[in-house]
């Protein structure tokens, strides 16, 4: 395997890797995937990124043990305010299980540090149902949410950092995903709550599960998060969440649904 900078003529192959990876592992509709790929990875977009000294682009190319040499993975990072941020990382589903994602991540973070980054953070789309587990394997912790506009759609990025780093995250055009992202809620003594037939329910923002429209959050009967009540749908504010025998969640009010993360389909090769 070789990790290198991509050539301008390889934009089409990068899009193929991104598209197939998102189709396999992201909770996004085909239209959303098409819009995101076209917005972020079109020929012109990649050309502009290659010319930007603050942006890092690297690809993984298979070695001699594979019959045909091809790009099997892609990573994008950025330098900003002393931080190196890993923004995108994709591995072709046909080539997973070979450590490609891990190699891309480690090479990208090392390169960002060599270029002057004091700290490293990672952004993962909320819809990337398997990527969150991957990031946590590098001892990074969820440090906040950001709402960003991609292809005219508002999406949420989870930001992960090293818990030992005491520094402000880089400035960004992204907005914090604050309480307005939680319909039918209010703050009680600083904690996010909602009500069910007059009963106050506490929402634990650190316990999230992906949804097709918005995430689900675990709810509790007490402010110490010891007695679980159920789940809260961040799309409509409902507590009417059902769970089937495969641990899949679905909101009875708006249809927001969740697919359980599969540890069998997930491996160290994918972010």
Sign of CA dihedral 2, 3, 4, 5: positive
Question: Domain boundary at 176, 196, 228, which?
Answer: 176
Q: Which two tokens stand for residue 45?
A: 């977009």
* pTM (two decimals): 0.67
Same domain, 138 and 211: no
Same domain, 190 and 147: no
Parent domain of 21: 2-176
N residues, the chain: 271
Region label for 81, one of left (φ > 0), alpha (ψ between -120 and 50) or beta (otherwise): left
Cβ proximity of 232 and 201 under 8 Å: yes
- Residue 86 β-bridge partners: 77, 122
Same domain, 200 and 156: no
Query: pLDDT by residue (tens digit) across 192-232?
Result: 899 998 899 999 988 888 888 888 999 999 999 999 999 99
Same domain, 87 and 62: yes
Residues 229 and 204: their CA atoms lie apart, in Å, by 11
Read off the DSSP letter of residue 171.
P
Same domain, 117 and 225: no
Query: pLDDT by residue (tens digit) across 90-145?
Result: 999 999 989 999 999 999 999 999 999 999 999 999 888 788 889 999 999 988 77
Question: Domain boundary at 176, 194, 220, which?
Answer: 176
Residues 74 and 17: their CA atoms lie apart, in Å, by 8
| Residue 258: inside a domain | no
Question: Domain boundary at 128, 151, 176, which?
Answer: 176
Structural domains in the chain (count): 2
């Amino acid at each position: 395997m070789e990790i290198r900078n991509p050539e301008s003529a390889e934009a089409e192959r990068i899009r193929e890797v991104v598209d197939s990876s998102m189709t396999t592992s992201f909770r996004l509709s085909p239209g959303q995937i098409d819009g995101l790929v076209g917005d972020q990875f079109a020929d012109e977009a990649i050309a502009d990124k290659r010319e930007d000294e603050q942006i890092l682009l690297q690809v993984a190319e298979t070695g001699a043990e594979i019959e045909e040499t091809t790009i099997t993975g892609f990573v994008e990072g950025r330098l900003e305010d002393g931080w190196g941020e890993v923004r995108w990382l994709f591995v072709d589903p046909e080539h997973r299980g070979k450590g490609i994602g891990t190699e891309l991540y480690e090479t990208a973070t090392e390169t960002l540090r060599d270029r002057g980054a004091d700290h490293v953070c990672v952004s993962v789309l909320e819809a990337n149902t398997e990527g969150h587990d991957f990031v946590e394997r590098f001892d990074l912790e969820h440090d906040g949410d950001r709402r960003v506009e991609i292809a005219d759609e508002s999406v949420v990025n989870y930001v992960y950092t090293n818990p030992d780093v005491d520094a402000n995250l880089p400035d960004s055009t992204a907005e914090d995903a604050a309480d307005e992202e939680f319909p039918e809620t209010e703050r009680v003594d600083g904690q996010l709550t909602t009500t069910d037939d007059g009963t106050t329910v506490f929402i634990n923002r650190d316990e999230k599960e992906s949804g097709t429209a918005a995430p689900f959050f675990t709810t509790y009967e007490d402010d110490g998060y010891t007695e679980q009540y159920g789940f809260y749908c961040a799309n409509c504010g409902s507590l009417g969440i059902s769970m089937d025998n495969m641990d899949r969640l679905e909101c009875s009010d708006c249809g927001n649904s969740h697919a359980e993360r599969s540890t069998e389909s997930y491996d160290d090769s994918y972010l």
